Amino acid sequence: MIMRVDHVAVAVNDHDKALAFFRDILGALPGGRFEDKISKFFWQTLALGDLSRLELLSPSAEGSFLEGFLKERSGGFHHITLQTAHMSETIKKLEDLKVPYFGHREYPDGSWKEIFIHPKDAFGVLIQIAEFDAEHWMVPEAKLPQGVRWEVKHGADGCVLTCAHPGGGKVTIKLNKEEARSLAQALLEEQE
């Protein structure tokens, strides 16, 4: 039902200050900043390393759904987002198991489908389950170019192998010369 953890969302009052912290101090690569005018909030995905992502949430106007959460704090863990391949199957399973959910929403262009499980039903954690293309909102630096599944960069001591990850992003592995030879041999043996 669940493919992977996509990201952890952090709600903040000061979006720019939080962005500077995660970008300038921790090296996060920020994606685009988007606004949801209905719920009155900004959101922005930040890539950390090969496969880790954070999402910053901040109010964009008075009456934001984040006001209650941020009333007595400057920020904090808001929710965890889990990726599913098939929202309809996920909903059916939750219903069959009598697990309550809320907030079923689908973007008109089909790029995002979501539901939530309330913290009272999930051991204190707000869980967002979503169906989406994992690379849709990622910055180019956090993924390989479209259609490229792997690349090799050679160096004096070996090589760096970068592979596209099915959950979005890329995975980079440094191989010394012997490891690179062993991998090449193993790949050739597979083809015979």
Report the C-alpha gap between 56 and 68 in whole angstroms: 16
Q: How confident is the model at residue 192 (pLDDT cuts 50, 70, 90)?
A: low
Inform me whether the pLDDT recorded for 78 exceeds 90.
yes
Per-residue pLDDT tens digits for 67-76: 999 999 999 9
Contact predicate 156/143, CB 8 Å:
no
Q: What is the mean pLDDT of residues 59-71?
A: 96
Percent of the chain with pLDDT over 90: 82
Q: What is the mean pLDDT of residues 34-52?
A: 92
Tokens of 55: 């999402």
pLDDT at 127 (0 to 100): 98
Q: What is the mean pLDDT of residues 93-112?
A: 95
pLDDT at 44 (0 to 100): 96
Inform me whether the pLDDT recorded for 141 exceeds 90.
no
Q: How confident is the model at residue 191 (pLDDT cuts 50, 70, 90)?
A: low
pLDDT at 77 (0 to 100): 97
pLDDT at 166 (0 to 100): 80
The larger pLDDT score, comparing residue 61 to residue 133, is at 61
- For 139, other C-beta atoms within 10 Å of its C-beta total 15
> What's the distance, CA 98 to chain centroid?
27
Report the C-alpha gap between 24 and 21 in whole angstroms: 6
pTM of the predicted model as reported, rounded to 2 decimal places:
0.85
Q: What is the mean pLDDT of residues 154-162?
A: 95
* Kind of pairing between the strands at 75-83 and 127-132: parallel
pLDDT at 76 (0 to 100): 96
pLDDT at 61 (0 to 100): 96
- Which domains are present in the chain? 4-132 (3.10.180.10), 143-191 (no CATH)
Tell me the average pLDDT of the chain: 93
